[in-house]
């Protein structure tokens, strides 16, 4: 993989202080800022299709006729530059039918912009399976689940070094014209060298999708993505967010509810009632069991994503892992920030993520997430004995 240090000066535009830090692969097309302004009609509000803590996303028309989703990093977001560069270098080197396609970027002056292919049906949001006349029947949901699994299996096992996404959630899955899913937003992605069992890192992601062992110790493995996928899988089948405080107490947390129904051999009751009973009950229950396997407490009990794709044997399932099961912790009120990162500092009890809403349902981005939504602030934890 060839790389170069980006230091281009366009038509008298002085580079920002950050330009000396920018390392991009040679495969990335570089757009001029003037082209980006023209494509979005000077960032016309009518073209805005998403917004997050790192900036905004616009629909744009490029000079070559392509329709693009243009992700603009806000100039004051210094925290976001690292995620911006990570996203470029990760996604530019890989192509898969279930991953978004990067057209290029703009790194000019203080401007940081990513240019992606535009996908018509925007983001998959938990609970939002009937929208603007678009009906998500069982076949569509099953295909979405399989597509996301294939995309993750590709990142985890076919790419070298392996890639851990770290933020698999409903709002980071975009649907194309045929409702085929594409995994988006690689700003938090990490590379896993083949000779390492885990990567120690600051905990980042979205409450509700975080694997408990990763949230507690900051030791990142591919199984953290598997856990997030398990949560997403159950959201898609049930049509529910992983947390809903408006429901009765016993129904608020999706994983806990799924486990209770599994123990009573009543998993079919978790399937979305919006389907009107028109679904393959055996297949739906098998998907829910796969979701439970993916969220097992022990990482060694969770399957690999390639195993999920091959339709795993779901005979032996134990209780899913919940953060509250192995440590007392309390998530503080979110502080204002422009990052989606969850910082592991001070932990005391949220009882299965009950202190913070998941952005899976509240993110108003179209899935080309520009970083954090307003609900994805920094959370501080303190470990207590």
Cα 21 vs. chain centroid, distance in angstroms?
26
CA dihedral sign of residues 348, 351, 355, 357: positive
Query: Which backbone phi and psi does 141 adopt, to 5 degrees?
Result: -65, -45
Residue 31 has what DSSP assignment? P
C-alpha dist (Å) from residue 373 to 229, 273, 366: 20, 29, 11
The answer for residues whose C-beta is within 8 angstroms of residue 192's C-beta and 6 or more apart is 161, 162, 163, 164, 199, 220, 221, 222
Which tokens belong to 35?
Answer: 């082209």
H/E element, 263: helix 254-263
Q: 209 in helix, strand or coil? A: coil
**C-beta separation of 176 from 121 below 8 A:** yes
Give the chain's end-to-end CA distance (angstroms, integer).
47
Question: Which H or E run includes 139?
Answer: helix 138-153
Q: How many CB atoms are located within 10 Å of the residue 332 CB?
A: 17
Considering only CA atoms, which of 49, 79, 56 is closest in space to residue 370? 56
Q: Which residues contact 177 (CB under 8 A, 6 or more apart)?
A: 119, 120, 121
CB-based burial label for 348 (10 Å; 0-12, 13-18, 19+): middle
* Active site annotation includes 225: no
Residue 305 has phi, psi (to 5 degrees) of -70, -30
Measuring CA to CA, which residue among 379, 376, 336, 373 is closest to residue 55? 373
Residues 6+ apart with CB under 8 A from 300: none
List the catalytic residue out of 19, 41, 167, 185: 167
Instruction: Give catalytic residue positions.
Output: 167
């Amino acid at each position: 993989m060839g790389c170069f240090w980006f230091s281009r000066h366009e038509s008298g535009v002085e580079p920002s202080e950050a330009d000396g830090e920018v390392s991009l692969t040679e495969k990335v097309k570089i757009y001029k800022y003037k082209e980006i302004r023209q494509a979005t009609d000077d960032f016309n509000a009518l073209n805005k299709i998403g917004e997050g803590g790192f900036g905004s996303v616009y629909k744009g028309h490029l000079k070559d006729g392509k329709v693009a989703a243009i992700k603009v990093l806000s100039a004051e977001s210094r925290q976001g530059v690292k995620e911006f560069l990570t996203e470029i270098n990760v996604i530019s080197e890989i192509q898969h039918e279930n991953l978004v396609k990067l057209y290029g970027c703009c790194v000019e002056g203080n401007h940081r912009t990513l240019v992606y292919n535009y996908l018509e049906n925007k983001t998959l949001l938990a609970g939002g399976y009937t929208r603007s006349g678009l009906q998500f029947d069982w076949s569509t949901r099953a295909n979405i689940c399989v597509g996301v699994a294939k995309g993750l299996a590709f990142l985890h096992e076919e790419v070298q070094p392996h890639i851990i996404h770290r933020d698999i959630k409903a709002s980071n899955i975009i649907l194309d014209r045929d409702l085929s899913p594409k995994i988006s937003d690689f700003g938090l992605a990490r590379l896993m060298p083949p000779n390492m069992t885990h990567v120690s890192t600051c905990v980042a992601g979205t409450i509700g999708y975080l694997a408990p062992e990763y949230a507690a110790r900051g030791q990142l493995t591919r199984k953290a993505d598997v856990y997030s996928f398990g949560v997403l899988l159950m959201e898609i089948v049930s049509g529910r967010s992983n947390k809903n405080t408006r429901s009765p107490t016993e129904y608020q947390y999706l994983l806990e509810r799924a486990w209770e129904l599994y123990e009573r051999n009543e998993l079919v009751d978790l399937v979305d009632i919006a389907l009107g009973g028109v679904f393959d009950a055996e297949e739906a229950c098998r998907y829910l069991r796969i979701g439970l396997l993916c969220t097992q407490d022990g990482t060694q009990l969770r399957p690999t994503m390639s195993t999920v794709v091959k339709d795993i044997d779901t005979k032996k399932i134990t209780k899913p892992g919940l953060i509250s099961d192995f440590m007392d912790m309390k998530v503080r009120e979110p502080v204002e920030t422009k990052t989606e990162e969850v910082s592991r500092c001070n932990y005391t009890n949220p009882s299965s993520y009950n202190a913070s809403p998941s952005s899976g349902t509240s993110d108003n981005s179209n899935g080309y997430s520009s970083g954090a939504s307003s609900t994805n602030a920094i959370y501080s934890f303190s470990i207590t004995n």
